[in-house]
C-alpha cells in the first residue's frame, strides 16, 4: 500500500512539496524558501498541522466546509458508493442513483421555479457551462445575437478560461490572454473603497444602474445575461448596499436579460438561508453551486437551471457539452449526505438563531479597534477593512496587501486561520461554529490586530496613500 507520508518530519515534507508540487495562486519560488504549512488533520472547526499546532479555521477551508470537519457519515457514504458503483457517466442516455437522488434534493431546496441541475466537477466548470448554456438558450429562442455576458470588476467566478473571464480580477486577466471576447464589466458595489461622498444607498443604486447603462451601450439584443455573486467572496467579502439587488433585479427583468447568481460561496447556508438569492430576494434564472454543496468532502459543482431555460434547452436537440465527471456518483452521494446533515440537524437554522447574531455583534465591535475602518458581516461571512485613517476611509500608502499579509501571519501564529484580500481581513467559518468558538475567534483576531498595528507603526506603514 502506498502510504501517505504523514510520519515524515515537517522539513522533509516541505522539501518534497517544494521540489514537486506547484501551488495555486502562489509565488512558487518564494514559498519554497520558507516551506508550506502542512495540514495533517482536522475535526469540527479545528485544523492540526504537522508540528501538532492547532488552529481555528475561520475560513472553512476555502469557504466550503460548511458542516465542519470529521463527519464520519460522509466518509462511510463515500466508501459504500465506491464499492457499489465507483464511476459511471451520464452521457449516453444513462444515469445512476446518486445523481438522481441529489438532483431531486436540489430541486426541493432551490427556489420553486428552479428544478433542474447540470453537474460539473467544480464551480469554475459550472460557470463555463453557464456561458454556453445561456448563449445556446438564446440561440434556440431565435435570438442568436444575445451572447454578451455582463459581469463585475473584482468578481470571482473561477479559474478556468471561462470562469476567469467572467470574473473581474485584473491579476488573473493579466496572465494567459484573458478575458475571452463577449464579456463586459461594470463596477462593483464596494462602498467603502469607491463610494466617495455618496451614501451607501445612493451608491448602491448608482452601481446597479451601471448595468442598465451597459445594456444600453451594448444593445439589449446583444446581451445574454448578468452574472454576480450575491455577496462578493474572494473579492473581499464585499456586502452590497441594501438598494443594490432590488435595482439589479428590476433591470434584468425590464431588459429581458438572464440573471445568473453565482452561489458557489453564498449557497448552502453561508448567508443564513439555503441560498444567498433568498437572503437578497433575488430571482435568478441560473444558480452556480459548488463548495458547500459537498462541504468540500468531495469535488462537485453544478448549475441549477430554471424550468424556462431547461425547457428550451431540452427541446433544442443535443446540448454539445459535458464533463467526464458530471454528477460523479461518489461526489453526488457525499453531497447528498452533506445536505441531509445540514437539513436534519437544522445546522442553518441553529446558526441563524445562535452563532450568527452573536458573531455579528462581536464582529461589528471590532470597528472600535484603531486599525479597523469598516466591518461587514452577512450570516457566516465577514470582512474588516484595515486603514491608517479611519475618518477618511483611506487606503494605506504601501502596496495593497502589505498590512493584510502581516495580519494574516500573526493570525496563523495565534492559532487562527483568517485570510487577507488586500488589506481586508475576511472570515467564512464552518456553520457549526459555536458561540464559544466565536469568543476564541475574536480574542485571537484582536490579539493579531494589536500586533499588526504595533508592527505597522514600527515599520512606518500607518500612512494614508
Ligand atoms: C470558488 C468560486 C468559484 C470557483 O469554484 P471552483 O470549485 O474553485 O472551480 C466560482 N465562483 C465563486 C463565487 C467562487 O467563490
What number is the average pLDDT over the span 249-263? 98
Instruction: State the Cα–Cα distance between residues 69 and 57, nearest whole angstrom.
Output: 10
Domain boundary pick from 309, 344, 379: 344
Per-residue pLDDT reduced to its tens digit, 57-103: 999 999 999 999 999 999 999 999 999 999 999 999 999 999 999 99
Determine the distance separating the centroid of ligand 1 and the alpha carbon of 45, expressed in angstroms. 21
What the block records as the C-alpha cell of 330 is 461518489
Q: Are residues 89 and 200 in the same domain?
A: yes
**Residue 421 CB less than 6 A away from ligand 1:** no
Residue 8 domain flag: no
Dump pLDDT digits (tens) for 10-33: 999 999 999 999 999 999 999 999
Residue 14 lies in a domain: no
276 ligand 1 Cβ < 6 A: no
Give dist(CA 116, CA 410) in Å, integer.
Answer: 45
Q: Note whether 363 and 394 are same-domain residues.
A: yes
Closest ligand 1 atom to Cα of 232 = 13
163-177 b/e with 16+ CB inside 10 Å = b?
Answer: bbbbbbbeebeeeee
Residue 404: pLDDT over 90: yes
Q: What percent of the chain has pLDDT over 70?
A: 99
Distance of CA 217 to CAs 182, 213, 258, Å? Answer: 14, 6, 17
Instruction: Specify whether 252 is located in the same domain as 163.
Output: yes
Task: Round to whole Å and give the CA distance between 351 and 437.
Answer: 12
Q: Are residues 277 and 354 in the same domain?
A: no
Same domain, 429 and 302: no
Average pLDDT, stretch 313-328?
97
pLDDT at res. 288: 99
Mutation probe of ligand 1 site: the residue of 265, 268, 284, 286 with most atoms within 8 A of C-beta: 265
**Containing structural domain, residue 367:** 37-70+346-458
3 pLDDT more than 80: no
Residue 199 lies in a domain: yes
229 Cβ below 6 A of ligand 1: yes
- Answer whether residue 10 is part of any domain: no
- Does a structural domain hold residue 166? yes
Q: 152-208, pLDDT tens digit by residue?
A: 999 999 999 999 999 999 999 999 999 999 999 999 999 999 999 999 999 999 999
Query: What is the reported pLDDT for 4?
Result: 60
- In a domain? residue 332: yes
Q: How far is the CA of 173 from the centre of ligand 1 (A)?
A: 16
Residues 252, 365: one domain? Answer: no
Q: Which of 8-12, 309-313, 437-441 has the lowest mean pLDDT?
A: 8-12
Residue 28 has, within 13 A of its CA and on its CB side, a CA count of: 8
Residue indicated by cell numbers 499579509? 405
C-alpha to C-alpha distances, 271 to 113, 230, 275, 280, 352, nearest whole angstrom = 21, 9, 7, 9, 9
Say if residue 227 is in the same domain as residue 357. no
| Residue 199 three-state SS | coil
The pLDDT of residue 7: 77
Both 245 and 173 in one domain: the answer is: yes
**Do 134 and 238 belong together in one domain?**
yes
Q: Is 93 within a domain?
A: yes
Amino acid at each position: 500500500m502506498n502510504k501517505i507520508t504523514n510520519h515524515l518530519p515537517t522539513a522533509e515534507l516541505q522539501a518534497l512539496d517544494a521540489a514537486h508540487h506547484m501551488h495555486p495562486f502562489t509565488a512558487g519560488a518564494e514559498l519554497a524558501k520558507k516551506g508550506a504549512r502542512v495540514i495533517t488533520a482536522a475535526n469540527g472547526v479545528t485544523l492540526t498541522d504537522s508540528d501538532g499546532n492547532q488552529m481555528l479555521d475561520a475560513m472553512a477551508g476555502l469557504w466550503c466546509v460548511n458542516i465542519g470537519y470529521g463527519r464520519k457519515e460522509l466518509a462511510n457514504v463515500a466508501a459504500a458508493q465506491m464499492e457499489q458503483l465507483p464511476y459511471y457517466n451520464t452521457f449516453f442516455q444513462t444515469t445512476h442513483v446518486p445523481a438522481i437522488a441529489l438532483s431531486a434534493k436540489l430541486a426541493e431546496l432551490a427556489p420553486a421555479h428552479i428544478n433542474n441541475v447540470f453537474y460539473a466537477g467544480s464551480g469554475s466548470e459550472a460557470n463555463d457551462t453557464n456561458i454556453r448554456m445561456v448563449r445556446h438558450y438564446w440561440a434556440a429562442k431565435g435570438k442568436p445575437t444575445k451572447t454578451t455576458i455582463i459581469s463585475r470588476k473584482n468578481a470571482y467566478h473561477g479559474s478556468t478560461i471561462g470562469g476567469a473571464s467572467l470574473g473581474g480580477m485584473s491579476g488573473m486577466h493579466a496572465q494567459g490572454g484573458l478575458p475571452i471576447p463577449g464579456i463586459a464589466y461594470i463596477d462593483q458595489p464596494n462602498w467603502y473603497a469607491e463610494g466617495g461622498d455618496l451614501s451607501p444607498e445612493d451608491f448602491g443604486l448608482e452601481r446597479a444602474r451601471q448595468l442598465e447603462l451597459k445594456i444600453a451601450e451594448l444593445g439589449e439584443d446583444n446581451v445574454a445575461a448578468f452574472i454576480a455573486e450575491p455577496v462578493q467572496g474572494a473579492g473581499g467579502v464585499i456586502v452590497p448596499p441594501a438598494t443594490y439587488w432590488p435595482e439589479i433585479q428590476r433591470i434584468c427583468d425590464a431588459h429581458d436579460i438572464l440573471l445568473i447568481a453565482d452561489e458557489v460561496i453564498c449557497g448552502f447556508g453561508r448567508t443564513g438561508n439555503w441560498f444567498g438569492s433568498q437572503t437578497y430576494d433575488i430571482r435568478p434564472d441560473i444558480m452556480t453551486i459548488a463548495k458547500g454543496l459537498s462541504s468540500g468532502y468531495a469535488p462537485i459543482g453544478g448549475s441549477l437551471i430554471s424550468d424556462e431555460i431547461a425547457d428550451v434547452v431540452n427541446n433544442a436537440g443535443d446540448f454539445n457539452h459535458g464533463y467526464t465527471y458530471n454528477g460523479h456518483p461518489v461526489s453526488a452521494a457525499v453531497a447528498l449526505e452533506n445536505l441531509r446533515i445540514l437539513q436534519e440537524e437544522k445546522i442553518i437554522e441553529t446558526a441563524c438563531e445562535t452563532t450568527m447574531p452573536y458573531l455579528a455583534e462581536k464582529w461589528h465591535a471590532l470597528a472600535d479597534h484603531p486599525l479597523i475602518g469598516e466591518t461587514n458581516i452577512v450570516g457566516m461571512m465577514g470582512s474588516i477593512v484595515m486603514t491608517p485613517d479611519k475618518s477618511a476611509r483611506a487606503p494605506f500608502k504601501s502596496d495593497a496587501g502589505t498590512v493584510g499579509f502581516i495580519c494574516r501571519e500573526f493570525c496563523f501564529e495565534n492559532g487562527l486561520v483568517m485570510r487577507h484580500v488586500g488589506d481586508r481581513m475576511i472570515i467564512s467559518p464552518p456553520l457549526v461554529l459555536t458561540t464559544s468558538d466565536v469568543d476564541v475567534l475574536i480574542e485571537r483576531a484582536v490579539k493579531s490586530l494589536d500586533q499588526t498595528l504595533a508592527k505597522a507603526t514600527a515599520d512606518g506603514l500607518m500612512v494614508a496613500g
